[in-house]
Amino acid sequence: MPESPFSRRNMLFGAAGVSAAAFLTSCTSNDDSDDDGGSEQQQANVSDDKPGKPVTIGFAGPEADHGWLNAINDNARSRAEKYEDVTLDITEGSNDTATQIGQVDSLINKKVDVLVILPADGKAMTQAGLKAMRAGIPVINLDRIFNSPQAYRCWIGGDNYGMGLNAGRFIGEQLKGKSNAKVVELAGLDNLELTQQRTKGFDDALKNYPNIEKVARQAAEFTVESGQRKMSDLLQAVPEFDAMWNHDDDQGVGVKRAIDQSGRDEFIMVGGAGSKAVMDSIKADDSVIKATVLYPPTMAASAIDLARALGQQKGVSGMAEFEIPASITLYSAVVSKDNIDQYLPTGFN
């Protein structure tokens, strides 16, 4: 999960913001015939569910060694299967940059119509994106952003700063009436920009709540084992606190083990990403886990929608423009007991 390109203007969309549905536009003309003609012309250039020009989409991503990444692949496949006019050519995921570059080269040589690339390393894979674009194959850059906007036609991905911001706001509201409230944070890999952005968002949100102090922070590695180990360290270092934010629901499996072993339950916990296990806990309301902040893997389904629209030279529904956007940042919604039924079907294993 990568950094979001905040240096450019981004549009905040829900995961369903690029779903395929008919788009009707109004016209300012008072002439009935002109009005109808304008609507038909606009509608004809917007992607919908009806079969159209066949499009072959090449998909290259990293190894699915994490629940979120596996959900990315599942979302891409299931979305492509929805369309009669889409053929999905998906590579075997790899975290090795040289291997992934070779996979992208293979898709370029096959002359696919559009490429969707979730790079194992955005910076290292930039040349692969540039090569595809120069070969006349438009690229949808999924989540981990390339170094150059010339390497993609459209970027779509999550909002890491927004994750932290919304986690901090939720915790702040829960502790609003408590004096001298204490909060701890369990981050992911500290050398990643995405982790730094999440922490910055979290800290910025907490500044709005002067009654709250963040008293400890540990960095895990997005794994179950590191989550359990680092959470144990936090529990030993801080004898009492009121709330915690864990950046990643996969490492949260280990976090919950450490909490259960300690027997402590004086605090509330907010997760990150949106796993089914965490959502089930929120629904059951039988643990310290009270919410999770989404980093939606449904972005892969939206990327397929965008790639199909590109291949058919159409825009997307819900927008007046004839072209797809250059950049789409997805919103990091907070899932709690208040809206769990709405989001539960989106939880990943």
Using DSSP, state whether 275 is helix, strand or coil. strand
Beta pairing, strands 243-246 & 268-273: parallel
Which two three-digit tokens encode residue 112? 């696919």
By the 10 Å C-beta count (0-12 exposed, 13-18 middle, 19+ buried), 9 is classed as: exposed
Q: Cα–Cα distance between 4 and 38 in angstroms, integer?
A: 36
Helix axes 193-206, 160-174, angle to 10 degrees: 30
Dihedral, CA of residue 226, residue 224, residue 194 and residue 171, to nearest 10: -100
Could you read off the pLDDT of 171-182 as tens digits, one per residue?
999 999 999 999
Report the candidate in 306, 290, 292 with the shortest Cα–Cα distance to residue 346. Answer: 292
pLDDT digits (tens, 9 = 90+) for 96-134: 999 999 999 999 999 999 999 999 999 999 999 999 999
**Alpha carbons within 13 A on the beta-carbon side of 190:** 7
Enumerate residues 6+ apart whose C-beta is below 8 A from 164. Answer: 197, 198, 199, 200, 201, 202, 203, 204, 205, 245
Burial 202-218 (b: 16+ CB within 10 A, else e): beebbeebeebebbbbb
Evaluate if residue 41 carries a pLDDT over 80: no
Decide the pairing of beta strands 334-336 and 289-294: antiparallel
The token pair at 57 is 């989409």
Q: Calculate helix-pair angle for 126-134, 97-109, nearest 10 degrees.
A: 10
Mean pLDDT across 240-261: 97
Number of helices (H), then strands (E), belonging to the chain: the values are: 11, 13
Beta carbons of 112 and 123 less than 8 angstroms apart: no
Per the CB < 8 A criterion, the answer to whether 79 and 307 are in contact is no
Which residue in the block uniquely carries the two structure tokens 């998906």?
90
Neighbours of 166 (CB within 10 A): 23
- d(C-alpha 95, C-alpha 73), whole Å: 14
User: Which amino acid appears at position 347 of this protein?
Assistant: G
pLDDT at residue 241 tops 70: yes
Determine the pLDDT at residue 162.
98
Residue 171 DSSP class: H
Distance of CA 250 to the CA centre of its chain: 15
Mean confidence (pLDDT) of the chain: 89
| Residue range 147-200, pLDDT digits in tens | 999 999 999 999 999 999 999 999 999 999 999 999 999 999 998 889 999 999
Q: What is the pLDDT of residue 317?
A: 86
Whether residue 28 is predicted with pLDDT greater than 50 in this model: the reply is no
